[in-house]
Structure 1
Amino acid sequence: MPILAKGFGDANAGIRVYIAKPPPMAEYGNLAMVQPLHSGEIALINQACGNGWRKVFNVYAKMLFALNPTQFSFSQQASSWQQYRDTFLLQGASSTALLFSMPEVPASTKTVHIIAGRTHAKALLDAGLAAQLSWLNNEFAVDQHNRLLVCPYFDYRQLNNEKLAFLAQLIKALDD
């Protein structure tokens, strides 16, 4: 039985990031599918939910800009990660999604699945995620067959620029 993805962004996203919970706002409390965000909606979430959500969106956009531009065109769509975040991130045809559900693997041979946080990854495995993770260290794991990665939570302190660069290398290596 297929898993019904729930979250923000493009339902056909090539880059899918998984975190445990949606923003604590009434309009997102009962998401039943992937819904695209609209222009300005990230700013509204940041204003209503605070610094933690601002970090998630910022780190997501920074990660996209760290990816190999011959593999992914995100950095060619805007002049900065900030502009990309505000103009394209998690919108309809962005090829990005932030999901609050179980990863469906393998969903596509080109889809990249990123679970943000070791604790969340372990909870998903306990809930039945069919993945064979190879832990590279305490923070990063790879399931090459399912194009699934585990990385630190999307927060500046946990996923700093050095670790973002490492994550970008892992994503590139999925195609090697």
Structure 2
Amino acid sequence: MNLPTYGFGAEQGLLAIYIEHPPALSEFQKLNKVIALQEGEVDYINQQCGNGWRKVFNVYAKFIAELSHPDHDFTNQSKHYPSWQKYRDKRLLQQGCQEALLFSVPDLAANRYDWHIIAGRTYAKALLRDHIFTNSLHWIDEEFAIDPVNKLLICPYLDYRQLSNIKISKLAELILTEHAKVIV
């Protein structure tokens, strides 16, 4: 059974990050599918919804840059996106991107995304209790967990204090390490 998937970005791709709530704007309250944001819409959401959303988008773009995944176009087209800020403004969650920011329950069986990342331990534990059933999830520490079978990660929320640059690097390394195991 496929679960409804809704949020911003690519309908399928390299990764999806799940957070609990969409921006508090009327146009996003009744999302029922994944939509690509338009150029300038990240800035619009930041202006309308405040600093919390600016942090979400900034941390997401920094993570994409840190990830430098060989299958992601940030790395392959770096001449077009020489910085995470340029990627955020010109491509993050927009048409042709390879990532999503979802507000729905992860559908691990649908194979829409290579990696599923739940941002926020409290939100993740609620999803694990009520919706996601996995026997292969193990906690690395109090903030990070990985299920390599289902390609599911749990990390701190997309905020500078919770998912600092050091923790962004740790999250990227978890994905790249698992990706390298598949290639070998």
TM-score scaled by length of structure 1: 0.95
Contact 1:61/1:84 (8 A) holds in 2: yes
Where 2:47 maps in the other structure, the secondary structure is helix
1:123 is aligned with what amino acid? A
Where 2:16 maps in the other structure, the secondary structure is strand
Q: Which runs of 4+ in 1 moved over 2 A?
A: 68-73, 106-110
Is structure 2 residue 100 aligned with structure 1 residue 100? no
1:131 is aligned with what amino acid? T
Q: What's the counterpart of residue 174 of structure 1?
A: 178
Is structure 2 residue 155 aligned with structure 1 residue 151? yes
Residues of 2 paired with 1:25 and 1:49: CA distance? 8
| Aligned-residue offset at 1:131 | 2.5
* Count of paired positions: 176
Q: What's the counterpart of residue 165 of structure 2?
A: 161
Residues of 1 paired with 2:93 and 2:29: CA distance? 18
Aligned residues with identical type, % of pairs: 48
For the structure 1 residues 128 and 111, does the alpha-carbon distance in structure 2 shift closer, same or farther, using more than 3 Å as the test?
Answer: same
Q: What's the counterpart of residue 63 of structure 2?
A: 63
2:88 is aligned with what amino acid? R
Work out which of the residue numbers 75, 90, 94 in structure 2 matches 1:91.
94
Q: Could you list the runs of 5+ residues in structure 1 that have no partner in the other structure? A: none
Higher relative helix content: 2
Q: Could you list the runs of 5+ residues in structure 2 that have no partner in the other structure? A: none
CA RMSD of aligned residues (A): 1.4
Which segment drifts farther, 81-90 or 67-76?
67-76
Residues of 2 paired with 1:10 and 1:71: CA distance? 15
TM-score scaled by length of structure 2: 0.91
Residues of 2 paired with 1:172 and 1:112: CA distance? 11
Residues of 2 paired with 1:68 and 1:56: CA distance? 19
Where 1:14 maps in the other structure, the secondary structure is strand
| Aligned-residue offset at 1:75 | 3.3
Contact 2:69/2:176 (8 A) holds in 1: no
For the structure 1 residues 173 and 109, does the alpha-carbon distance in structure 2 shift closer, same or farther, using more than 3 Å as the test?
Answer: farther
Residues of 1 paired with 2:177 and 2:111: CA distance? 17
For the structure 1 residues 106 and 40, does the alpha-carbon distance in structure 2 shift closer, same or farther, using more than 3 Å as the test?
Answer: same
